[in-house]
Amino acid sequence: MAHLLNIASTTKTFKVAVVGVGLVGGEFIKQLLAFPQPSPFRLVSLSSSKSTIFAPDGLHVSVSSWKDALASSREKPDLQFLLRELASLVKPGQEVVLVDNTSSNDVAALYPQFLKLGVNIITPNKKAFSSELSLYENILAASLESGAKFLNEATVGAGLPIISTLKDLIATGDTVTKIEGVFSGTMSYIFNEFSTGKEGGLSFSSVVSIARDKGYTEPHPADDLNGADVARKLTILSRFIPPLSSALPAGYQSVSTKSLIPSELEGIDSGDEFIKRLPEFDAQFDQLRAEASKEGKVLRYAGVIDVATGTIKADLEKYPVTHPFATALGGSDNIIMFHTERYGARPLVVLGAGAGAAVTAMGVMSDLFKLV
């Protein structure tokens, strides 16, 4: 409540430009426009992949009208135009914020330029922080030079306080020794359903198919089963840990990652075709599950950052049926354990919904509040 009062009483204004108005972007715009008055936030621009609207003094749109306003615009999105216009709005007492709700490499590549010109960046887009180290270092340098901030809580765990927890641990002098977790909502759902510690159960292909029908996977499930999403999240976290900050020169591609895509299905471009062929490999997954259940264990697709050994990996692991990864997860939950010097005997655990537009947009919105 106190923080909301601080926001309401601030004398600063925040000019907010939103790029990406899909599920997460749409939900963020709804949360922003529903913020209680008097609000320090002024929405000055909206951009989809097809059109854009811009008004330096603030758009006159509401929760119910912004979609029509954007759809009726004949202006095409232009990132260079946006860069110039937003930079011109930066002045004392007036912060400018780019909220990137896309998963675009093109937008991510421009972060250093936006930051250098004093534009803050808030985003759930993992690309800039999990790609090659040089881009990340350029982002850090540009932020340091201008004082503009980049905040990316929603890149890991949607609305869960994972990055902020890690930052707080490190800033207060704790030493992180290990982070392990189930970082993918999709993989969480698949293995919560497939591997329960009991013998038998649904086939792997049918669980993946159900997950796809429920909207838990990408249209092409291989985009989840390749483990790249988990590798990206591990990259983002590892770069906040001082001994590992430059451990991954090629970003997520430097992470040791176990793909669950059968090699024979690697080149299939169609999600429908992939789902049709996946049952051919059920026996392999059944065997893995049977071996785990014989040991009193479950299968979980986990990410591990071991600071002492420098190991950063995304892999299919076995955990005892009494382990929190077996007992605490439901649906598409994420769970992350922080092992540190202070939290030595019992790790600090963050658990909850790790996917979904509303909670991801909440993570983005909470980052916006941190600027106030």
Which residues fall in the annotated binding site for NADP(+)? 20-25
Which residues fall in the annotated binding site for L-homoserine? 218
**Tell me, what amino acid is at 265?**
L
Residue 246 DSSP one-character state: T
**What token pair was written down for 70?**
């954007």
Q: Are strands 150-151 and 176-182 parallel, antiparallel or unpaired?
A: unpaired
**Tell me, what amino acid is at 340?**
T
Q: Are strands 256-257 and 311-320 parallel, antiparallel or unpaired?
A: parallel
- What gap in Å lies between CA 330 and CA 199, rounded to an integer? 19
Instruction: Quickly tell me which residue has 């986990």 as its tokens.
Output: 302
Q: Which residues are known to be catalytic? A: 233
Strand partners, 298: 319
Which residues fall in the annotated binding site? 20-25, 102, 126, 218
- What gap in Å lies between CA 275 and CA 252, rounded to an integer? 26
**What token pair was written down for 345?**
């005997």
The contacts of residue 137 (CB under 8 Å, 6+ apart) are none
Which residues fall in the annotated binding site for NADPH? 102, 126
Q: Are strands 297-306 and 176-182 parallel, antiparallel or unpaired?
A: antiparallel
